[in-house]
Structure 1
Amino acid sequence: MRPAAGALFGRRARLRWLHLVLGGALAMPYVLVGSVVVEAVAGDADVFHSLRLQLAAFAVGLPLAALSALFPPARPLESGAVRALCAVDAGLLAPGPARTTGERARTAAWVTLHLGAGGIVAGMSLAVPPFAALLVLLPFAPALRDGPVGPGGLFQHTWTLALAPVAGAVLLLALAGCAAACGALLARWAPVLLGPSAQDRIAAAEARAADLAVRNRLARELHDSVGHALSAVTLQAAAARRLLDTDPEFVREALAAIEDTTRRTVGELDAVLGVLRDGDASGTAPAPTLATDLDGLLRRTRASGLRVTAAVSTDPRSLPPQVSREAYRIAQEGLSNALRHAGHEAAVTLRVEVLDGHLLITVENPCDTVTGPRPGGGHGLRGVADRAGLLGGSAEAGPDGPVWRLRVRLPLKETA
């Protein structure tokens, strides 16, 4: 019983009822214009004293309302009313004005449905409650029986007179049920007629994809730059602490490398945060590349105690800028993995070469020095694969006999 009462008289039902009544109020100017047209056609007949002519004026006014709904601002106005009063999720409704012919046609269909159903429910809301109140009071107010519902009218017998209050209550319930049904109908059709078109959905999906791509790029940049810096600084500090009393020269080099690493990482972090704040990287520090920053990367990595052998058989300055940037990050991640997993005393080989129109980057270290993956790790190799995939290349990583190998192929053609 309570769910039925809530469906008829609950807050949502009352708001939808109000939405329908507002639709009836919006329909009145168009009905008045329609009454002028009907009066001109019917001659001297009084439209407002004939139900048939009133319905004709209503039928003439609805197409006029549909024409006014073709203006672009009609859709956001109707969408705002639907969100506020019909309990429809805002994500199911188009946010902006109608632009295409199809969107305007659907908005016109919605306005016709809203004003048509609203006019009917509003008219019933004006006529039914007074009549229902009359029926409820009829057995208790003899003066009311002299009207059209008294003797000679609808209720001529005592038993029918006793049922008058029941008939009044039934009329009120029928009105509430009709309003609830029309409100539910409008709420169901609102996403269809006022919702985003296929073009809107494609644009929203493209915007989400672009936003996700930016976030993934920033995540890769943070992981590669900050993660490498933290791993290098940790091992450099540990090596300096062990050799503090026996090799002061190495300690000085390690501290200088720590200073250089942290300074560069702060600059790269500022660049990434600038993208997060402003949405673009204009005005930020340039990204490191293989041509300009590989020597510094090797120097800082060796300062942590890692034995790195680098074999670069091509001139990094001849590489396309985007390939050079991604290649630097890939080499940085390969050395970072060796720092994290192989230990500071491992021997690592980095090879950079050009073969068959591709840049080949290979990082190797002995498998017997690998300490195993860190809890929660694995993002670095995924980022390497993402970088290679964005350039149309490929990445492979895993044990190959006694060697753990990361091998990446990047095409040298310019990539958009």
Structure 2
Amino acid sequence: MSGFARFLLGRWARRRWVHLILGGALAMPYVLVGEVVVGPLLGARYGFNSLPLQLLSFAAGLPLAAITALFPLTRPMSAAAVRALYGIDGDRLADGPARTWPARRRTAAWFTLHLGFGGVISGMSLAVPPFAAVLIALPVVSWLRDSPLDLPEVLDHTWALALSPVVGVASLIALAACAAVSGRLLARWAPRLLGPTPEDRLAAAERRAADLAVRNRLARELHDSVGHALSAVTLQASAARRVLDTDLDFVREALAAIEDTTRRTVGELDAVLGVLRESDDRATAPAPTLADLDALLRRTRAGGLRVTVAGEPDCARLPPLLSREAYRIIQEALSNALKHGCAEGPVTLSLARDDAELSITVDNPASSRPLSRPGGGHGLRGMTDRARLLGGTVEAGATGGVWRLRARLPLSGETCP
């Protein structure tokens, strides 16, 4: 019994009933226009007192509603109402306007059904409750029987008068059942008629891919710039603490490197966050390139890592994007060497350029590579992503007791999406 009551007057049943009444309200202008068309054809001046004329006007107005529903903005407005009043998951309904004709036709079908069902249920909601109230009160309110309500003659019989409250209650239950069934039907049809088309799903997938690309870019930039700076500062401070009483010159150099590292990292962080402030007119610090490699090496050496460099390509002749990504790859490789035990041996950085590509090779003792730590392993993936975006490759592994990372970045390759 309680399940039947929820079916008739539960929360979603009541909300769908409201949606149907809204449909009836939206149908009224179309009914009036239909009456203007149908009335002269039937020789009737006013149709409010004629139920057949009202029904004909209603039927004539629905095609007009279907035509007006072809406008693209009809779908998002209808979908918003369905989400609020029908409890349908948002991903089952389209978000944006209907751009294709199949989507517009489905929206027009939904709009017509909404107004059709809504007009009928709204009319019943206006007429049935007063009629049911009169039937329920008729046996106990005697003046109703003598009032000019034009009641059916059958109610003059005693048995009909006794059954009139039952008929009144049944009429209310029938009204609620009609509204509930209509709401259920529209809830079932809504995803089919207002759901996303293949074109909508493709557009949504492209938007998600673009958002994911921006998030991955931010993650790489923050990992490589801030992560390297924190690793370098930690090791520089640790080295300075160990020789604080014996080598003041080294301590001064380490503190100066910490100051320079933090100052530059603040500028790089501002450049990274500038991606999130694209509408902001304030200028942000430029991202570092291979022209800043000497400063990076100086800060890395201040942390105690011995770095030797072989080859110095002309940075001014490199494409700006390639120069930036190459700097980040080298920065991450040196950061890994700092974190993974610099005391075991020197790091060799080799840069080579020919007419086709820029090659970056970083060698350090293989024993310095630690086991994977929880949450780690993003550095190599980030370097691989950076190279892939330029059409290049990154290879890393232990060979002959040396951990070698080699990146090949084409000079004229197109960036990948």
Q: TM-score category by the smaller chain?
A: 0.7 to 0.9
Alignment-derived partner of residue 311 in structure 2: 312
Cα offsets for 1:121-149 (capped at 9, x unmatched): 11111222233334434444566668887
TM-fit CA distance, 1:252: 2.6
Aligned ranges 1:325-340 → 2 under 5 Å: 325-340=324-339
Alignment-derived partner of residue 264 in structure 1: 264
Alignment-derived partner of residue 404 in structure 1: 403
Aligned ranges 1:234-249 → 2 under 5 Å: 234-249=234-249
What is the CA–CA distance in structure 1 between the aligned matches of 2:32 and 2:302, rounded to whole Å? 88
TM-fit CA distance, 1:340: 0.4
Alignment-derived partner of residue 369 in structure 2: 370
TM-score by structure 2 length?
Answer: 0.88
Aligned ranges 1:82-93 → 2 under 5 Å: 82-90=82-90, 92-93=92-93
Alignment-derived partner of residue 210 in structure 1: 210
Residue 7 to residue 100, structure 1, CA distance change in 2 (3 Å): same
Secondary structure, in 3 states, of the residue corresponding to 1:153? helix
Check conservation: 2:355, 2:411, Cα contact below 8 A: no
Check conservation: 2:261, 2:299, Cα contact below 8 A: yes
Secondary structure, in 3 states, of the residue corresponding to 1:286? coil
Alignment-derived partner of residue 255 in structure 1: 255
Check conservation: 1:305, 1:345, Cα contact below 8 A: no
Residue 346 to residue 25, structure 1, CA distance change in 2 (3 Å): same
Alignment-derived partner of residue 285 in structure 2: 285
Secondary structure, in 3 states, of the residue corresponding to 1:245? coil
Unmatched tracts of structure 1, length 5 or more = none
Secondary structure, in 3 states, of the residue corresponding to 1:113? helix
What is the CA–CA distance in structure 2 between the aligned matches of 1:21 and 1:11, rounded to whole Å? 16
Alignment-derived partner of residue 295 in structure 1: 294
Aligned ranges 1:12-51 → 2 under 5 Å: 12-44=12-44, 47-51=47-51
Residue 306 to residue 166, structure 1, CA distance change in 2 (3 Å): same
Residue 346 to residue 249, structure 1, CA distance change in 2 (3 Å): same
TM-score by structure 1 length?
Answer: 0.88
What is the CA–CA distance in structure 2 between the aligned matches of 1:232 and 1:43, rounded to whole Å? 93
Alignment-derived partner of residue 130 in structure 1: 130
Amino acid aligned to 1:263: R
CA RMSD across the alignment: 2.9
Cα offsets for 1:351-377 (capped at 9, x unmatched): 222368232222121122334344321
Alignment-derived partner of residue 154 in structure 2: 153
Alignment-derived partner of residue 346 in structure 2: 347
Amino acid aligned to 2:114: H
TM-fit CA distance, 1:32: 2.5
Check conservation: 1:333, 1:384, Cα contact below 8 A: yes
Check conservation: 1:306, 1:348, Cα contact below 8 A: yes
What is the CA–CA distance in structure 2 between the aligned matches of 1:373 and 1:149, rounded to whole Å? 88
Check conservation: 1:360, 1:408, Cα contact below 8 A: yes
Alignment-derived partner of residue 116 in structure 2: 116
Alignment-derived partner of residue 168 in structure 1: 168
- Report % sequence identity: 66
TM-fit CA distance, 1:65: 2.0
Alignment-derived partner of residue 388 in structure 2: 389
Q: How many residues align?
A: 413
What is the CA–CA distance in structure 2 between the aligned matches of 1:211 and 1:288, rounded to whole Å? 24
Amino acid aligned to 1:353: A
Check conservation: 2:344, 2:365, Cα contact below 8 A: no
Amino acid aligned to 1:21: I
Moved more, 327-336 or 269-278: 269-278
Moved more, 344-353 or 75-84: 75-84
Check conservation: 1:341, 1:372, Cα contact below 8 A: no
What is the CA–CA distance in structure 2 between the aligned matches of 1:232 and 1:44, rounded to whole Å? 91
Residue 103 to residue 394, structure 1, CA distance change in 2 (3 Å): same
Residue 80 to residue 366, structure 1, CA distance change in 2 (3 Å): closer
Amino acid aligned to 1:3: G
Check conservation: 1:343, 1:370, Cα contact below 8 A: no
Unmatched tracts of structure 2, length 5 or more = none
Amino acid aligned to 2:154: G
Amino acid aligned to 2:190: A
Secondary structure, in 3 states, of the residue corresponding to 2:405? strand
TM-fit CA distance, 1:278: 3.4
Amino acid aligned to 1:336: S
Moved more, 175-184 or 272-281: 272-281
Residue 46 to residue 321, structure 1, CA distance change in 2 (3 Å): closer
Check conservation: 1:235, 1:344, Cα contact below 8 A: no
What is the CA–CA distance in structure 2 between the aligned matches of 1:320 and 1:272, rounded to whole Å? 20
What is the CA–CA distance in structure 1 between the aligned matches of 2:172 and 2:235, rounded to whole Å? 81
